[in-house]
Structure 1
Amino acid sequence: MPDVGDVATVQLVVNPFDETTGTTLTVRAPDGTTTTPSTSTADDGQTWTAEVTYTQAGVWLLRWTVTGTGASVDNQQVAVAPTPGAGLTGRVYATTTQLANYLQAAPPLDAARLLLEASRLLDRDFLVPAVYDVDDDGLPTDTEVADAFAEAVCAQVEFWQEVGAETDISGPLQGVAIGSVQLQYGAGDNRSGPSYYAPKLARALASLPSSKFRMTVATGCF
């Protein structure tokens, strides 16, 4: 799979072919823009090649139009991967170095994305009713709180690595207390299903003193 920035030689083999065979290549990028790079043949019209520069991540369409002998249309799709880490924006509570130290092992190659997703999960499912001091970027200013958040998201990434699945569905995490708040997930028929939150995530938050981190509701059921 090519990455953004790669220059690839693409080709089409035509059969039947002769000296009347010709080709035109139309390249459509993921954003819909099109280009028509020049094509050439080194074997009298059977194999045609062109150079394509992949400037965007996504699915590219290569449309070959053959004229003369072997006239046809051939569509090729090429999936292009983004530059690792590109396009990741948002508040992240741990670095890949912190994750490596937490795991005591090399982090996964997509660690930056996983930490971002875990931070979004923490924001959405745990921190909405929370009160703590933050800076202009919304990050905790207290070192103990920052360390707990880092531990929480690292625990979630570790959990995802163990269960082999990422999901935002609330499983039956029950009986977890964070200050005065009791959190319960997956009530009713869902209580026997799997939990999709790392147990150590909630424990990291529960370890914080109420003077630095507290919930603004008396009870909670997510």
Structure 2
Amino acid sequence: MTHDTQTDADPGPEATPNAADRLLDAALLNVPFDGWSEATLRAATNETGISAGLAKALFPRGAVDLALAYHKRGDDEMARRFAAEDHSDLRYSEKVARAIRIRLELADRELVRRGATLFALPQHATDGAKAIWGSADAVWTALGDTSEDVNWYTKRMTLSGVYSATVLFWLGDDSLEQQATWDFLDRRIANVMQFEKAKARATDSRLGQALAKGPLALLSRLRAPQRPGDMPGSFGA
């Protein structure tokens, strides 16, 4: 049997490639007033003339998917801008700092503040954590990270902590040109580099080698995801 009617789950011909971007652009103007909310999404549909059915298909969970789309847009733009720059004179830690700085400079503090309120809700906390992890992954990918073992996970876990702490500092920073934030970021990355050096020394020690063959042997088999979204990865032979 065929059907001539269109369901909400089927975006149909109205779903042009930039429909989601048009909705998001319109929503951004309303977020400072109504937050990441259903009211904001409704206002965006009215502004763009896009049907409520298509908006529902593009953002099934409404406001939370809209906020995640804004976050992902920032990650993608950071990667694009970072790739367009010359970083040949920067140390690796400085490249990490540069990528995070680009990411924050792209963001609007009021929109991020509203997002932090949304993702602080228990039902959306997991989405917020995934968004932070996604930003850390975007930074490492932009830097050309090629790790495929447990280091793939530890790098992103560590940077997620640095990034989330820096975002919280940045939200309350009223210093000139947010210089206090960039100083804070440099200190956090310096701490991470010290930790990585200590970890390398521990790994090379006799105790570290013994642990690697014993209790930590399972971690050595952990492999990075082979495609986007393929979490939590897999265990090799």
The TM-score with structure 1 as length reference comes to 0.30
Q: Which structure would you say has the larger Rg?
A: 1
The TM-score with structure 2 as length reference comes to 0.28
Q: 1 or 2, which has the higher strand percentage?
A: 1
Q: 1 or 2, which has the higher helix percentage?
A: 2
